[in-house]
Structure 1
């Protein structure tokens, strides 16, 4: 377990990242290939991704280059997920190239000591080897992560909306209290459930604050830098719902789709975590004007409520909408298992 110790200054300087971290998404997606835990949550992604990796000729690079450097274990090198990556893939890859050779060597040595490093890993201290490695990372990202960017961004924005409600209700402490189940706020300490093989440790923020980065591809394994001297960051998992399908092949939204239509069913699902009109548009694959019309129809039916903040509106479920959504999900899972609702 990691115990992060806050002061009042740290609470004031804690923030939630505004976008996905592409380099951490690479790391977390590589971990999905190394375990069956949570496979149900990524079943569709897993099937299509393995096929795409074969078609693009990246399977060898996956096995011999990437998986050995990103073990799903107590440690992988910090320089592979630089803080600058929250500003985009290009910034993150530039940060990897700019890593001092001494730091690369030191972190590869830690990897070797803890889980074993590939024999060639020390070459990454050289700039040319790192340039080639960055090319592999970019190719992998384009095949594995980029095709899902819209879905990932929509989920991140929904998570931000949910955390903002906690912030409004209870300040930063209210936001931290809603991060579970793998992160537990026990004032003034945030307890982070680490993989079993990791040792317990304490991290004192000492006025630096904390950056929280939700990750679509992470599965119940929050991650922080091993080096306490680096800027404090915690990447944590979104709460996934199963990609269940009934025995007839229908999706979880099918009962809703039969009544509301596909776009409005997706809009209702999006509103369950709080969503702007733009987020609904991206989730449903429709224009902003069409999303606005669907939101209006759902609001007129008493299924969602809308709050305006300047040019932006936030749509959330009413109790009726929440009951309808829960009933539809129960029906879908009952179809899958053959039980009676």
Structure 2
């Protein structure tokens, strides 16, 4: 039994979010792919995922045996959301923390022979792990991200309405059958045990199709995250692969997909992941922005791009007709 002790500041910092970060979903998805449950995951998704894995992806699977708690450095808290910032945070984990969390999670018998090298801070081992996280996300989640997001948003809405009607007691008292709220303690039947005092860090309640029961993610400098299962069927099939390229062209369709998966990306990151130059990525972004599909904002020397609600609807297959004057013809590649 894990007991979360919530103070006044924590109660004022409760947030309900539609879904875990990309790396968080990737890690839980990798663990789910190794088991036979939870029920919402079809065998076809597991088979398709295992077929598409690369060597580094299989490297990742060594770290996430089913039915085990996971080291917290794999699910970092970042103030800038997105796959790449989170991967950077994983890669920057101090060696002392790596060693401590790996020993705490796996004890004297690590599940893979390469784990001592990771615990010792070997740079090449960490680079392979980062490639594994990125490749698993591409193989297992990227095409299905819109479906995952839709399920998670629906579940978040249920809990938000519960909080609106019953306040904090109504929310925390109705999270899950395995969660009990006895103020000021939130008791959770999960893989962890012990007591965690939040001390003003706050609580995030989020959702995943890759867990059968509540999971708790704890970080040193961010809020504690309670991950709840989504009781909805998941196909994992994703959208038709040629739908968006026919409307936007291949490169801009891929850009829309990347932003839908990561939430916010810089021009340089988009260029690197699309395999184009930075000026070319900027030009594509300008066209998508002109069509009302993305917004861009400057932060220091970088420009961050995010999907608009219209871009989200287009990505999720809910129509391509713009509201507010956006012209999809302007977004098509010549």
Q: Could you tell me which residue of structure 2 aligns to residue 189 of structure 1? A: 185
The counterpart of 1:203, out of the listed 182, 196, 200, is 196
Residues 44-69 of structure 1: per-residue CA shift (max 9 Å, x gap): 4223323333xxxx2x5444x22221
- Cα distance, 1:208–1:146 mapped onto 2, change above 3 Å: same
Aligned-partner Cα distance in 2 for 1:46–1:153: 19
Within 5 A, what are the aligned runs for 1:108-123? 108-113=102-107, 116-123=110-117
Aligned-partner Cα distance in 1 for 2:209–2:129: 24
Contact 2:4 2:198 in 1 (8 A): yes
Within 5 A, what are the aligned runs for 1:304-315? none
Contact 1:224 1:234 in 2 (8 A): yes
SS at 2:70 equivalent: coil
Contact 1:154 1:282 in 2 (8 A): no
Residues 81-121 of structure 1: per-residue CA shift (max 9 Å, x gap): 11128811111101011111121122222234176242212
Q: Are 1:94 and 2:94 counterparts?
A: no
Q: Could you tell me which residue of structure 2 aligns to residue 106 of structure 1? A: 100
Within 5 A, what are the aligned runs for 1:22-37? 22-37=22-37
Q: Are 1:238 and 2:230 counterparts?
A: yes
Q: CA deviation at 1:148?
A: 0.7
Structure that is richer in helix per residue = 1
Q: Could you tell me which residue of structure 2 aligns to residue 223 of structure 1? A: 216
Residues 212-245 of structure 1: per-residue CA shift (max 9 Å, x gap): 22112222242333x77764222222223487xx
Contact 1:23 1:92 in 2 (8 A): yes
The counterpart of 2:158, out of the listed 159, 162, 181, is 162
- Cα distance, 1:102–1:284 mapped onto 2, change above 3 Å: closer
Paired residues in the alignment total: 248
Aligned-partner Cα distance in 2 for 1:126–1:280: 40
Contact 1:23 1:85 in 2 (8 A): no
Q: Are 1:77 and 2:109 counterparts?
A: no
- Cα distance, 1:211–1:62 mapped onto 2, change above 3 Å: same
Q: Are 1:139 and 2:131 counterparts?
A: no
Q: Could you tell me which residue of structure 2 aligns to residue 268 of structure 1? A: none
Q: CA RMSD in A?
A: 3.1
Q: CA deviation at 1:172?
A: 2.5
Q: What TM-score do you get using the length of structure 2 for normalisation?
A: 0.65
- Cα distance, 1:12–1:40 mapped onto 2, change above 3 Å: closer
Aligned-partner Cα distance in 2 for 1:102–1:156: 35
Q: CA deviation at 1:40?
A: 5.3
SS at 2:151 equivalent: helix
Structure 1 unaligned spans of 5+: 244-276, 291-341
- Cα distance, 1:279–1:202 mapped onto 2, change above 3 Å: farther
Aligned-partner Cα distance in 2 for 1:50–1:72: 15
- Cα distance, 1:15–1:41 mapped onto 2, change above 3 Å: same
Structure 2 unaligned spans of 5+: 236-308, 323-334
Q: Could you tell me which residue of structure 1 aligns to residue 46 of structure 2? A: 46
